[in-house]
Structures are given as C-alpha cells and as structure tokens.
Amino acid sequence: MAVTWAHRCSLWALLSVCGTAHVFNAYFLKEATWPCRGAAGIFVALGIVSTVIAFHISTLRCSENHTLKTLLLQYVFLQGASFAAPYIFSKMTKVWKEPRKAQETFLQKLISRDANTEYGKRYLRGIQSLQDFRDKHPLTKYDHYQDYFQRLADGEKNACVATDIHRFGISSGTTGKGKLIPYVFSNSVAMLGLAIFTLVVKSSPVKRVVGLYCRPTPRFSNTGLPIAPATFIPDKLSSRILLSVFQNSPTSTFQISTDFEATYVHLLFGLTDKNIDLFFAPFASQVYRALKMLEEKQDMVLEDLSVGRINPSLNLDEEIRRSLNAALKPNPARANELRAEFARGFEGILGRIWPHLTALMTVDISGYMKKLHAKYTKGTRLFSFAYGCTEGMMAYNLWLDGEPQRYVLLPNEVLTEFIPEEFSDEENPETLLLDEIEVGKRYEVVITSKAGFYRYRMGDVVEVAGSHENCPVIQMKYRTGELFNLRSEKVDRLVVGTAIQETLESWPGVTLVEWTCAESPLIYGDQEDVEYDMFYLLFVELEKEVPLSADQRSLFDKSLRKQHELYDSYRQIGSISQARVMIVRPGSFKKLQDFIIANSTASYNQFKMPKKVRTKAAFDLIMSNVVDNDA
C-alpha cells in the first residue's frame, strides 16, 4: 500500500503529541527552573500547534505530489486566508449595501490622486460629484489616452496616472494593434478575490490545481518596464514560489511559449495527481482544445507518464526539457488507471480523471461551455470567478452553482456608468449610474478605473440580472465591435450563436468545432465602384466532413430571420441576400488563430476567436480553407 500524506501526517501528529506530552511532564509536573519552564512552554505551545495542523491535514485529501515544504506553505496560506475572509467579506457587504456612496468616494480618491497630472489639470478640475463628472468629463475611447499612456511608458511621471506603475498591460488586440494600458495593482481587489475564493469555492488547503498557461513573448517599454497581457506571470521569486506551492506543473512549464507544447505539458503533469482541486484556464475555448488534445494524443500521454519523460517530438528548449524530465517520475500505475478511463470514452472525462475536482474555473466568451458540458466536462461544475479586463477588475462571482454565470459589481474599485443598448451607437449618449439601471435591460458599460481611464467606453454590453444587497448583478452579453451590421440591422453575436445552434440540431451527425462570420463587402476589399450583394458569410469547422445540401445550409438564414426581426425585414425587401454557409477544412481555425497571433499583440492565453472577421487578410485566409461552398 502506498504511503500517503494522510499516513505521514498521522505519524507526525502522534510523534508531536508524544513529544509535547513528554516536555510538559518533564518541566511542568516536576521541579524545574523558571528559564527552563519558559523554554518548555514555548516548545509545548509549538507542539500543540504542530499536533493540530498535522492531525487536521491527516483528515484531508492531499495532493500526493506535494513536498513537505509546499504542503505546509499551501496549508498555512489558505487557512490564513479562510480566517481573514469573513472580515474582508463583511467590509465589502457594507459597500454593496451603499454602492452609490462607494462610487462617490472612489471618484474623489481617484481625482485627488491624478489632480496634479497634466491630464488632471485639463479634464478633472472643478469636479466635485458624480453629476459634475458626467456633466464636465467627456465619454472617451482608447485614442483619447493613447498619447498619455505612451508618455507614461516612456518614463514621464506627470502625464496622467499619479501612482507607481510596475508594468503595462496590453489588450488582446485580436483584430489589430493592442492597447497599452498602465497596470495598477489593487491590494483590496486581490484580498477580496482571495476571500471569495475561500468562502465561495471552498478550495482545499492541501490539494493542488492545474492551470493552462502559455508564456507570451516578452516586450518592454523604453524605460524597461514589462509590457504583457493581464494573464502574464512575472519571472520573480515570489511568483515562482506561489507556482511551486499551488500548481501541479513545475515552474519551468511556465516558460514554454508555444501553445501546443505548453498545453500538453500542463496536462501531463496534472494527470500525475488524482487529487486535483481545480482546473482553470482564461477561456473555455482553451479548455476545449486541451481536452480534445488529450483525446487525440492519449497514447502519447500514457507513454510519457509510464516511462517518466517528456515526449521527444515536442518542440522544447533543451534546458526546459531537462528540467521537466527531472521532475516527471515514471508512474505506470497512474497510466494504467487513466488508460482504463480513456477506454470508457471521453464523456465526462474531466471529472473521471480528477474525481475530487471542485470546479472548472474559466470564462465562457464564445459558447464553448455548452460543447464542453455535452462531452468532456459533463457533471463538472463551472465557475467563472470574475468579470474584468486589462483595464480593471470590475465584478466578482459569488455563486459557485450559478447558471448562467453572473457577477456583482465592485463599486469601491471601479466607477461604472451604463448606456442603454438602444443608444450605444450614439457619439455622446446620456449615461445612467448603477442605482438607475433596471433588471432585465442591456447596457453598454462605461468605466472609470485606477488604470487611468475616465468615462471609458470599453465596448462590453451587459444585462442586469438582479442585485446583491443593493448592488447590481450583471451578465456579460457581447462586445459592441462584434455586431453584424450591413444595413443598420445590428445583429449581435448571441443571436448568430442561437441561430447556429438551432441549425446544428437539423444537421444529423454533425459536431461543431468553431465558427466565425464575415460581411460580404470583405470579398471585394478596397475595390471601388463595385456593385455587390450584401449578405453574411458563416464559416464553420466540423469534427468530420458531412455532406450538407443547399436546403440544410439555408436553415441558418431561416433561423436568423426568425431570431431577428429587422434582419428578416431586410431579407423580405431584398436589401440583404441569403446568408451563405461555408464549410472549412479541419484545423482551419487553428491556422486562423496562429495568423491572428502572429499579426497582432494577442497571446495564446488571452486569445478569443473573433466571431466577426474584420480584415481582408484574415478573410482571405479563412476563405482559402473553404472546402464546401454554397456561394
């Protein structure tokens, strides 16, 4: 029988209690000098603490890949967080009860911070209240800040943000040049996140996690500050220590900068431990790709796990490979256990390879959770921890079992205004504050954040799902840039997604891998004086090629007409033609992903497959992969 941490800690508790009892008996029940009793008292106190910790750990399910050092560090860190969590949460509850007051206070602190910067002198003078702010400061987009942030990156101290900037974030930029954004760490946001993590997720203090991460190509400002996505893990000692404590992957895994290799190695090391607590990735699309990879490469994974070496076919730096090989021990017993699970098929595989998993933590941007739950993650709880972006953390999720995922705003960390959806195309619409919005209605979000954004139109459209205490609870719906709009019909991607799902139900034997759309003017690029039909092009990749008739493909257009009244009216009068469905070769969307990342500032960790193709180059690439075309 294998010796587990439960066995070791039981022995530790026994030895600790015996040693403590012996010292107590020797120095307190018998004659002893006061200095000796003082030293013995310290020993006894430490012995009692040691006994309690050892006994508690012995009752818990532990990750067996822990060393004693990492086990104790994780236990102390998370137990300490669990003791502090109720206090932190109670303070935040007071904020949620008076969100308007918290917004006023936040605004005044931010204005006070930046008042003497060039930006503050120009835009923040004379603002005393939220109403002043709405009256005097314009609504903004990124180009309003571009020069200020660049000057900040170049070392100018008094341009806009009057606080220490240790690095710069960069937005995913999947459709072009990324946006340089000052990264301002908020200790209170981090502490609240940790409190919610312990109170809501109730994560184990001794089970490790598996996370997917691909190291982005490092960039630096002219002053040497890192420029990296929000998901970037710095190469500093504290980060390496935290990774070694919580992650089941060796720290060298986090130096891998190619998507396939990084995903494979994280999965491989994660599979060595049956007692994983959480599986997480920035986006559900990454989870889907990882589990599909596991299904396709299962023999390779099992071989590597059995012999204890990283597969030679992986494109890895030799130093990283040596480090990984040293960390991966042969584990034929675990390989045989996994082989039996794989033989049963991959339905619900996530919960079968890690039977003690608390939750899958990820964000569902592109509708991948429905596909995941239909197969790989069936029976596993989804938890989308937070709603935020490079510009700032905006809301946290308080409901582990909530479906769909929803988030309560943080009124003491981000000032949030709302533009009613019907006015989002206006240049300078009126905004509403968080106590003026209505449940069930959709709004474009406007934020003022510690990163230096004031009344910034970030492009997200949310729906108000309810309230927590007196603070709005929201659901993310879509980004304004992903509206399909040929004749002012404004079809959002959720409508397109619903039409696709309805269409798939009428396509027997078909499993969707990925989709994106384009508008027909992209066919002609910059050609002038060309008359052309106006229509949508839907590109779909299927798991296996299935012949589809013209009637079957026309179901997408019919469903879209049913879902969207204005689109239907334009179809009736003929100003928009029937949508075209284009089947692309397997692997086409991986090519599109690689192309976008190579030609933008997007990283694999942040990548979200755009649901609208905007550039001629990307359009030409996806068109070149069409194998079955009804155009």
Chain segment 312-348, per-residue pLDDT in tens? 999 999 999 999 999 999 999 999 999 999 999 999 9
Q: In the structure encoding, which two tokens stand for residue 173, read together?
A: 């930029």
Contacts of 495 (CB under 8 A, 6+ apart): 560, 563, 564
Q: Find residue 194's DSSP bridge partners.
A: none
> Positive or negative, the Cα torsion across 393, 395, 397, 398?
positive
Collapsing DSSP to helix, strand or coil, 428 comes out as coil
Question: Has this prediction a pTM greater than 0.85?
Answer: no
What is the band of 1 on the pLDDT scale with cuts at 50, 70, 90? low
Give the integer Cα–Cα distance in Å for 442 and 423: 11
Model confidence at 528: pLDDT above 60: no
Predicted confidence band of residue 631 (pLDDT cuts 50, 70, 90): very low
For residues 45 and 53, what is the distance between their CA atoms, to the nearest angstrom? 13
pLDDT band at 421, cuts 50/70/90?
Answer: confident
Give the per-residue pLDDT at 485. Answer: 77
Helix, strand and coil in the chain, % to nearest 5: 45, 15, 40
Per-residue pLDDT band at 253 (split at 50, 70, 90): very high
State how far the alpha carbon of 452 is from the alpha carbons of 20, 113, 138, 415, 507, in Å.
Answer: 56, 10, 14, 12, 49
Residue 109 identity: K
Which residues fall within 8 angstroms of residue 51, CB to CB, at 6 or more apart? Answer: 13, 16, 17, 20
SS3 374: helix
User: What is the rounded average pLDDT of the residues 393-413?
Assistant: 90
The string of pLDDT tens digits covering residues 133-144 is 999 999 999 999
Confidence of residue 228 (pLDDT cuts 50, 70, 90): confident
Beta strands in 163-249 (DSSP E): 167-170, 180-183, 209-211, 219-220, 226-228
Q: Could you give the dihedral angle defined by the CA atoms of residues 220, 221, 226 and 231, in that order, rounded to the nearest 10 degrees?
A: -100
Average pLDDT taken over every residue of the chain = 88
- Minimal CA–CA distance to 103: which of 350, 372, 435, 370? 435
pLDDT, mean of residues 230-247: 78
Look at residue 605 and tell me whether its pLDDT is greater than 90.
Answer: no
| Confidence at residue 432, expressed as pLDDT on a 0 to 100 scale | 97
Task: Specify the pLDDT at position 37.
Answer: 78
Q: How many CA atoms lie within 13 A of 415 on its CB side?
A: 26
Lowest mean pLDDT: which of 100-114, 452-466, 601-615?
Answer: 601-615
Are 593 and 606 within 8 A, CB to CB? no
Q: What is the rounded distance in angstroms from the CA atom of residue 307 to the CA atom of residue 3? A: 21
Name the range with the highest mean pLDDT among 434-438, 524-528, 626-630.
434-438
Q: Report, as an integer, the average pLDDT of 542-558.
A: 89
Find out whether 218 and 287 touch, Cβ atoms under 8 Å.
Answer: no
Query: pLDDT (tens digit, 9 = 90+) per residue, 20-41?
Result: 888 888 777 777 778 887 888 8
